[in-house]
Amino acid sequence: MYRLIVLFFIGSWLMIACIVDRPLTRQNYPTGTPLTVVEKVPGYILQFDEDFSQQLKKLKLPGAAVVIIQDSSILLQKGYGYKNKKTMDPIDIHSVFRIASLSKGFTGILVGKMVEEGCMDWDDKIHRSIPEFSLRNRRQAKRITVQHLLSHSSGLVRHAYTNLVESGLSIEQTIPFFRDLPVYGREGKHFAYQNAAFSLIEEVVRVKTGQPFSEILETEIFRPVGMRDASCSYTAITTHNNVALPHWYSGRKKDYVPKKISKKYYNTVSAGGINASIADMTQWLSLTLGNRPDIISDKTLDQVFSPLVKSNSRRHNRWRGIDGCAYGLGWRVFDYEGHDFIYHGGYVNHYRSEIAIDREENIAICVLFNAPTPYAAKVVPQFFEYYQMQNQVADLSGGELVLP
C-alpha cells in the first residue's frame, strides 16, 4: 500500500512539473536558420509562376497564394487574384485562408514537440487520459495509443462520426458515441482516415498540460514559429481584416461567388480548424525542412514523417513517380522516385489547400485556394515535374534551364 501511495505521488509530481514548473517551449534556445529571399529566381520557378497565374485565369478561380522554399531560401511567395471576387480586393501574402486538414500536420509536430520534451509519449494509452473513451471491443479501446490516433490506424471504419463533427458537436460530446462503435481491424494494422477520432488528441493534450489544445498550439507553434496571422477559431477569422473569403461556382452566373465562412471544424482544431496566411505557411515550411532546431529536432521530425501504416494510393495514382503510399503522424508519406515525399491536402468550407515536402532535395511547397478546384490536385505534382526537368537540364548542360 505504501508503495502505491509513493508511486501515485511521483506520478502526480511529474504531471505537475510538466504543467506548471516548466512551459513546453524551451527557454534560452539557439536561433534557427533565418529565411532569405533568393536574389536570382530560378527559371523553372518563373515558368511555374506564369503557368499557375494563367491557370487561375483560365479556370476563373477567385484567388490563391503560393510559397516555395528550398533550404532556407524563399523562391516564391505570392498572392494571386482576389479575396472577394465581387469587390476585387487583391490577395497578398498576409491574407488568411482556412487550411483544413493541413491542420493535422501541425498536430503531429506539436505532439512530437511534447514527446521530445517529456510531457507525452507516442505509446501513451488514450484511455489513461480519457477514461470514458471506449469501443464495442473494450480490449482494443484500451490498447489504442497516441500514435494510433495520429496515424489513422485505430482500427475504426473510415470517417467514424465525421458527421457528428460537421453537426457541430464538441469532442467531449462525441466521445460517448464511440462506445458502441465496432472495429474492423486491429489497431496499428489498417489505415482509415478520421476526423473525430483524430481530434481525441486534443483531450489528451489538455489532460497532459492542463491547457486547451488551441492555447498550446498558439504558445508552442504559432508564436515561436513566427506565424503572426495564424489562429484557430471562427471568431478570429471572421474578425480579421485581411481574409480570403471562400467561393463557390454558380452555374447560373457562370462564375465563382463569395460565400460565408462556416463554423465547421473549429470544434476539432487538430483535424481541420487552423487559419493561416501564406506568410505563415512560409515559416511553417521552414520548420518542416529542419531550419528550426530551436523548436523541434530533426530526430523528432524523422519520427513524425516516418511511414507507419500503408494507405490507399488511388487518389494519387495520377502522380508520376509515386510507388506506394503510407501515413505517418498527421502526414501522408509517398515513395516518390525512391525516397520519402511528405504531403497533405485539405478541403473545408470551399477552401482547398496543398502542402508537400521533399526532404531529400530540401524543397517544399504550399498552395492555398479560396475555391474548390480539380486543379488543386494537380498543382503539386506539376511543380515537382518542373523541378525535376530543371535538374535534368542542369545535369545535361551544366547550367540552369534558360527560358526563351
**Which residue type sits at 101?**
S
Give domain status of residue 307, yes or no. Answer: yes
Give the separation between CA 246 and CA 49, rounded to whole angstroms.
Answer: 22
Give domain status of residue 315, yes or no. Answer: yes
The model's pLDDT over 52-75, given as tens digits with 9 standing for 90+, comes to 999 999 999 999 999 999 999 999
Q: Which of 98, 90, 152 is nearest to 329 (CA)?
A: 152
Residue whose C-alpha cell reads 488551441 in the numeric block: 214
Give the separation between CA 334 and CA 353, rounded to whole angstroms.
Answer: 18
Give domain status of residue 28, yes or no. Answer: no
Ranges assigned E (strand) in 85-231: 89-90, 96-98
Give the separation between CA 282 and CA 286, rounded to whole angstroms.
Answer: 6
pTM exceeding 0.85: yes
Which of these ranges, 156-165, 198-207, 392-401, has the smallest mean pLDDT? Answer: 392-401
Reported as a pLDDT band with limits 50, 70 and 90, residue 323 is: confident
Give the separation between CA 159 and CA 123, rounded to whole angstroms.
Answer: 23
Give the separation between CA 20 and CA 210, rounded to whole angstroms.
Answer: 9
Q: C-alpha cell of 53?
A: 497565374
Reported as a pLDDT band with limits 50, 70 and 90, residue 226 is: very high
Region of 214 please: left (phi>0), alpha (psi -120 to 50) or beta.
alpha
Average predicted confidence (pLDDT) for the chain? 91
Average pLDDT over residues 228-232: 98
Nearest-10 crossing angle of helices 376-397, 43-58: 150
Q: How far apart are the first and last CA of the chain?
A: 82
Nearest-10 crossing angle of helices 103-116, 278-288: 40
Q: Which stretch of DSSP H or E encloses residue 146?
A: helix 146-150
Q: What share of the chain is helix, strand, coil (3-state, %, to 5)?
A: 40, 20, 40
The CATH number of the domain where 155 resides is what? 3.40.710.10
* Domain span holding position 259: 2-23+42-397
pLDDT at 236: 99
Neighbours of 291 (CB within 10 A): 19
21 has a pLDDT exceeding 50: no
What is the four-CA torsion angle of 192, 198, 200, 206, rounded to 10 degrees?
160
Give the separation between CA 150 and CA 62, rounded to whole angstroms.
Answer: 33
Q: Which of 206, 285, 272 is nearest to 237 (CA)?
A: 272
CB 154 within 8 A of CB 144: yes
Strands 63-70, 363-369: pairing is: antiparallel
Average pLDDT over residues 108-136: 98
The model's pLDDT over 255-292, given as tens digits with 9 standing for 90+, comes to 999 999 999 999 999 999 999 999 999 999 999 999 99
Give the separation between CA 305 and CA 19, rounded to whole angstroms.
Answer: 27
Give domain status of residue 31, yes or no. Answer: no
Give domain status of residue 241, yes or no. Answer: yes
pLDDT at 321: 76
Give the separation between CA 25 and CA 22, rounded to whole angstroms.
Answer: 8
pLDDT at 5: 40
Higher pLDDT, 389 or 140: 140
Give domain status of residue 278, yes or no. Answer: yes
Reported as a pLDDT band with limits 50, 70 and 90, residue 18 is: low
Give domain status of residue 191, yes or no. Answer: yes
Q: C-alpha cell of 366?
A: 504550399
Give domain status of residue 33, yes or no. Answer: no
Helices and strands in the chain: count of H runs, count of E runs: 16, 14
Total tally of structural domains belonging to the chain = 1
128 has a pLDDT exceeding 60: yes
389 has a pLDDT exceeding 50: yes
Return phi, psi of residue 383, to 5°: -60, -45
